Amino acid sequence: MEVYVRTAAIFALAGGLVAASPSAHSAPPAASPATSLDPIRVLDCLTFGPAEADLDKLHREGLTRWLDGQLHPPRTDVLPPAAQAQIDSLAIAQKPMAALVADIAEKGKALRDITDPDLKRAAQQAFQQSLNDFAHQAATRDILRDLYSPTQLRERMTWFWFNHFNVHQYKADIRAMVGDYVDSAIRPHALGRFRDLLGATLHHPAMLRYLDNAQNAVGHINENYAREIMELHTMGVGSGYTQKDVEELARILTGVGIDASPQNPRLKPELAGQLVRQGLFEFNPARHDYGDKIFLGHHIAGRGYAEVEEALDLLAKQPATARHISRQIAVYLVSDNPPQALIDRMSETFLHTNGDIANVLRAMVTAPEFAAAAAHGKFKDPVRYVLSAVRLAYGDKVILNTAPIQAWLNRMAEGFYNHQTPDGYPLAESSWNGPGQLALRFEIARQIGSGSAGLFRPEGPGQTDRPAFPQLQNALYFSALKHELKPTTVAVLDQAISPQEWNALFLSSPDFMR
Amino acid sequence: MQSTFSRRTLLKALAALGPATVAGRVWAAPQTQARLLVVFLRGAYDATNVVIPIGSDFYYQSRPMLAVPRPGSNPAKGISEAIALDGDWGMHPALRASMLPLWQKKQIAFVPFAGTDDLTRSHFETQDTIELGQPVNGSRNYQSGFMARLAGVLTETRPIAFTDQLPLVFHGGATPIPNIGLNTIGKPALDERQMTLISKLYQDDPLSASVAEGFHVRDDVYQSISRESAAANRNAVSPKGFELSARRIARLMRGGYNLGFVDIGGWDTHVNQGGSSGYLADRLTELGRGLSGFTDEIGPEVWRDTVVVVISEFGRTFRENGDKGTDHGHGSVYWVLGGGVRGGRIVGEQVKVAQATLFQNRDYPVLTDYRALFGGLFRRMYGLDQTALQKVFAGVQPKDMTLV
């Protein structure tokens, strides 16, 4: 099975990208360690963990073509039929968000009319349960894509951008919105233009609800969203804007909100033409502050919705935004302390290409600093840890139930859509590798390693388990991973007394954590 | 440990302080008895509606929807009044059952106008500032939180964070500092042999100490919680939410852990925060119950040597906003509780609460820097000398507020 000897499967990066030969018989490329890329490391950085099919594809296509495919995937990608069928059967895939939100609102209204306390309590529970179901389904869809999509980088960037433009599912009715937020605001732009992504999040009711801009109106200013746009979403804190800029942006954003009603709001005739509606999004001119603003040193003439687009244009073009976004991406994908030269290259690309995310990612992977920065392997956050384990253990055998994965992630404090504050989950290794977390992770390693752990028992009553054993010692393990193990790991694995224990130890090893 | 605090330095510190300041009751016990729990209210709690400037007409003008009525004002039925602490300050009525008894026993002090010199008004930035405890304008070292540095200058300290993720405040310990979420603990899944094998996997890894500490803490916490379930059968009501965590924390801190950190979210009240009752009042009830549960559980003897400090990243706008809430502000009010705390007082520099004294015509000013407050407290609690204190908070002059 040992087809790919590690040294032979290294990409050379002399004067550009050269595809590696998949054959062990060809001579190893003469590349210095600083400029060679281990394919396993490439997959660690850019996917939810190496799986056999990815490594084959990477070898077949070479890094340049493989990366092209990852950066410019078809709009809809092809999932294994067993995964796609599960997604298609979800209620959130069959009903548009507006209908889900309307259903929930109606149920909520019906609740208020119930007077019997017992009936009321039961109805309240049912109401919460249906909200929870929507978020659970959204997470199911995300997890299936993360595990099985051939365009892995788009899925990783989808997680990254959700986290960057974080919303918390448990605020108000956001659970009915998160699925659509991922699907229509985040994922289509995950590799596209930053400006589009910024605009899409601003137009989504999940964001407007979460950061209270639905309540921001002339005379009733709410700065919350304006502040986080500048501080977290674009320029980054300490990048030169002032409290006054935040206040001015809040004024610009007055009137941007949510409207679920089929009727337009009643407006004075002279304002009627200024109304903007798009799904649940609404710009209500009666709530807007029509005064002029000075934002980031620019004079913005008070004229309605166009001010919002002008402000977002300004924000997306700021060099501070380019630097902030580039750094965040590099920290997420490569290392806690990415070299400044790498960030500089990425931010230059960001500015030259008008914030084209695919180009920024390409600049990152092809930078001479990338190989060395990626060589260490970043300690996996819980999401990457669990998903990489499941990808390795079951390959293309599609799981039938994502609930165990959701439960593991919640226990490890990185559940889907479950970070309360807009800063998103921390990206630094040190947030995830403390003593308490390690102890918990070893327990979860044991659960993943010792059997199918419910992953093959479909959700719902009366379903039977179709257990499958986690095959960690598979072709990928023997062809590539085994050769990278530290001698101590090999020695400890040899002491395992059962395949279950071997799995638990392998998934607990420092080698698999990075 | 980088620098150890020995009995010799303790004696030197005592000599330097002079006899007058050695009267604090924590001094009576060996310094290793001292326990400190820092409670971080994340999201910037609305201090103005918790320790209420009842003496200020400006407060009542600024918060027509949110203000808590003055004591003795006989508000409409169903609305409670503030509880007078002195002529200027009152306590939110949601804390009557939990914190008023401590105030009457003089075991809680409030420090108004407390906070940082960080002016970003950003939750995350300012939380980081506080947890790192480094000069605001220097470059930041995210591998050096102030409680980790404190642990580094103390001997026989056992720090722990009762959180799901390791907080910044404990980053960079000389030996890795454990964190453990108290709501997700079950029976350990690994046996002795498996734990040994896993430890072997990490024998040459930078994480090896963390792995060992992780197993250790896991075991401690599980032991402590299984004793609780036995005890719970005799209690009629089993506590929930923060009170459950706080009682568990108390048991662990009555045992070996003596330097703890816990955080509570949900204080970012931009919308509909309520007044005497409502959202904020409910959060306060839960917080108060938790803290009084902690006091109860840790027991009178250990409570004498325990200090709990409640902090938050900043205060909120003095005036209410258009959504019956408040926005990001500056100065806050910190709480200091403990059996040996010189409480029943409003402590620290103060100004009259009026429009003219607002910071940027918007928020409370900061008159007590949190590092100076903690520095002064650490000197009294642990007898740290200037050199040690400088290691915790470089360039900060500790402020002796005679809190213990």
Q: What is the pLDDT of residue B226?
A: 76
Residue A121 has pLDDT above 50, yes or no: yes
Q: How far is B21 from chain A (nearest CA, A)?
A: 39
Mean pLDDT for A16-37 is 41
Query: Do A439 and B214 make contact, defined as CB atoms within 8 angstroms?
Result: yes
Q: Which residues of B touch A236 (CB under 8 A)?
A: none
Chain A residues inside the 8 Å CB shell of B180: 436, 439
Q: Please give the pLDDT value at position B238.
A: 58
Q: Are residues A421 and B266, on separate chains, in Cβ contact within 8 Å?
A: no
Q: Picking from A168-182, A481-495, B80-94, B212-226, which range would have the lowest pLDDT averaged per residue? A: B212-226
Q: Is A232 within 8 Å of A211 (Cβ atoms)?
A: no
Instruction: Provide the mean pLDDT of chain B.
Output: 87
- Interval A464-484: pLDDT, tens: 888 889 989 888 888 888 888
Contact flag A489-B177 (C-beta cutoff 8 Å): no
Which of B117, B158, B166, B222 should one mutate to test binding to chain A, selecting the residue with the greatest count of A CBs within 10 A? B166
Q: Do A510 and B202 touch (CB under 8 A)?
A: yes
Specify the pLDDT at position B17. 40
Which residues on chain B are in Cβ contact (under 8 Å) with A413? 164-165, 181
Is the pLDDT at A5 greater than 70? The verdict is no
The rounded distance, in Å, linking the Cα atoms of A392 and A349 is 34
| Cβ separation A232–B197 shorter than 8 A | no
Strand B368-369 vs strand B259-264: parallel, antiparallel, or unpaired?
A: unpaired
Q: B165 and A215: CB-CB below 8 Å?
A: no
Among the ranges given (A154-163, A329-338, A435-444), the one the predictor scored with the smallest mean pLDDT? A435-444
Q: How far apart are the first and last CA of chain B?
A: 27
Size of interface A-B (CB pairs under 8 A): 150
Residue A282, classed as helix, strand or coil, is strand
Sort residue B376 into left (φ over 0), alpha (ψ -120 to 50) or beta: alpha
Q: Chain B interface, mutation test: which of A442, A503, A508, most B Cβ atoms within 10 Å?
A: A442
Which pTM does this prediction carry? 0.80
**The token pair that represents B92 in the structure block:** 């939110």
Average pLDDT for A292-318:
98
Q: How far is CA B70 from the centre of its chain?
A: 28
Whether the predicted pLDDT of B9 surpasses 80 = no
In the block, residue with structure tokens 């986690």 = A470
Closest approach of B192 to chain A, Cα-based (Å):
13
Could you tell me whether strands B35-41 and B259-264 are parallel, antiparallel, or unpaired per DSSP bridges? parallel
The answer on pLDDT for A42 being more than 80 is yes
pLDDT for position B231: 58
Asked whether the predicted pLDDT for residue B14 surpasses 50, the reply is no
Q: What share of chain A has pLDDT > 90, as a percent?
A: 75
Q: Do the Cβ atoms of B207 and A509 come within 8 Å?
A: no
pLDDT tens digits, A344-399: 999 999 999 999 999 999 999 999 999 999 988 899 999 999 999 999 999 989 99
Buried b (16+ CB within 10 A) or exposed e, B98-127: bbbebbeeebbbbbbbbbbebbbbbbbbbb
* Residue from A440, A444, A493 whose CB has the most chain B CBs within 10 Å, to mutate: A440
Q: Do B211 and A421 touch (CB under 8 A)?
A: no
What sign results for the dihedral spanned by CA atoms A316, A321, A326, A331? Answer: negative
CA-based nearest distance B210→chain A, Å: 4
Q: What pLDDT score was predicted for residue B325?
A: 92
Q: Chain B 189-208, CB below 8 Å of chain A: which residues?
A: 189-190, 194, 197-198, 200-205, 207
B182 inside 8 A of chain A by CB: no
Q: pLDDT tens across A266-292, in order? A: 999 999 999 999 999 999 999 999 999
Residue in A with minimal Cα distance to B162: A436
Shortest CA distance from B143: residue in chain A: A430
Give the model's pLDDT for residue B236: 45
By C-alpha distance, the chain B residue nearest A240 is B120
Contact: B214, A435; criterion CB under 8 Å = yes
**pLDDT reading at A15 higher than 60:** no
CB contacts under 8 A, B 206-235 vs A, are 207, 210-218
Is the pLDDT reported for residue B22 higher than 70? no
Are B203 and A438 within 8 A, CB to CB? no
In this complex, do B207 and A447 lie within 8 Å of one another by their Cβ atoms?
Answer: no
CA distance B85 to chain A (A): 33
Contact B184 A238 (CB under 8 A): no
Q: Is B165 an 8 Å CB contact of chain A?
A: yes
* Pair B111, B376: CB distance under 8 Å: no
d(CA B50, CA B59): 13
Give the span between the Cα atoms of A448 and A455, in whole angstroms: 9
Judged against a pLDDT cut of 60, whether residue B31 lies above it is answered with no
- pLDDT at residue A31 above 60? no
Q: Which residue of B has its CA nearest to A422?
A: B124
Smallest CA–CA separation between A429 and chain B, in Å? 10
Q: Which of A233, A242, A248, A239 is nearest to A355 (CA)?
A: A233
Task: Enumerate the residues of chain A whose CB falls inside 8 A of the CB of residue B142.
Answer: 428, 430
Instruction: Kindly list the distances between the CA atom of residue B46 and the CA atoms of A161, B273, B330, in Å, as whole numbers in the listed order.
Output: 31, 9, 11
pLDDT bin (cut points 50, 70, 90) of residue A10 is very low
Structure tokens given for A263 = 């009727």
Q: B176-228, pLDDT tens digit by residue?
A: 888 888 876 777 888 889 999 999 999 999 999 899 988 988 888 888 877 76
> Cβ–Cβ of B205/A508 closer than 8 Å?
no
Nearest CA in chain B to A231: B122
Model ipTM value: 0.87
B323 and A447 in contact by Cβ < 8 A? Answer: no
Q: pLDDT tens digits for A240-264?
A: 999 999 999 999 999 999 999 999 9
Query: DSSP labels for A182-228?
Result: IIIIIGGGTTSBHHHHHHHHHT-HHHHHHTTGGG-BTTB---HHHHH
The answer to whether residues A224 and A264 touch, using CB atoms and an 8 Å cutoff, is no
Are B387 and B152 spatial neighbours (Cβ–Cβ below 8 Å)?
Answer: no
Query: Residue B232 pLDDT more than 70?
Result: no
Look at residue A313 and tell me whether its pLDDT is greater than 60.
yes
Candidate from A420, A423, A443 with C-beta closest to B124:
A423
Q: Which helix (H) or strand (E) holds B189?
A: none
Q: How confident is the model at residue A496 (pLDDT cuts 50, 70, 90)?
A: very high
Instruction: Dihedral sign for Cα B363, B371, B42, B287, please.
Output: negative
Residues 36-95 of B with CB under 8 A from A: 42-43
- The reported pLDDT for the residue numbered A462 is 87
pLDDT-derived band at B237 (thresholds 50, 70, 90) equals low
Res B322: pLDDT = 85
For residue B131, pLDDT beyond 50: yes
* B125 lies within 8 A of chain A by CB: yes
Across B121-133, average pLDDT: 89
For B270, which of A222, A428, A438 is closest by C-beta distance?
A222
Q: A366 or A27: which carries more pLDDT confidence? A: A366
Nearest CA-CA partner of B249 in B153, B179, B305, B300: B179
- Do A442 and B120 count as a contact with CB atoms less than 8 A apart? no
Backbone angles phi, psi at B135, to 5 degrees: -55, 140
- A430, B166: Cβ pair inside 8 Å? yes
**For residues A146-170, average pLDDT:** 96
Task: Look at residue A342 and tell me whether its pLDDT is greater than 50.
Answer: yes
At B348-364, the pLDDT tens digits run: 999 999 999 999 999 99
Helix A499-508 × helix A435-449 angle, to 10°: 150
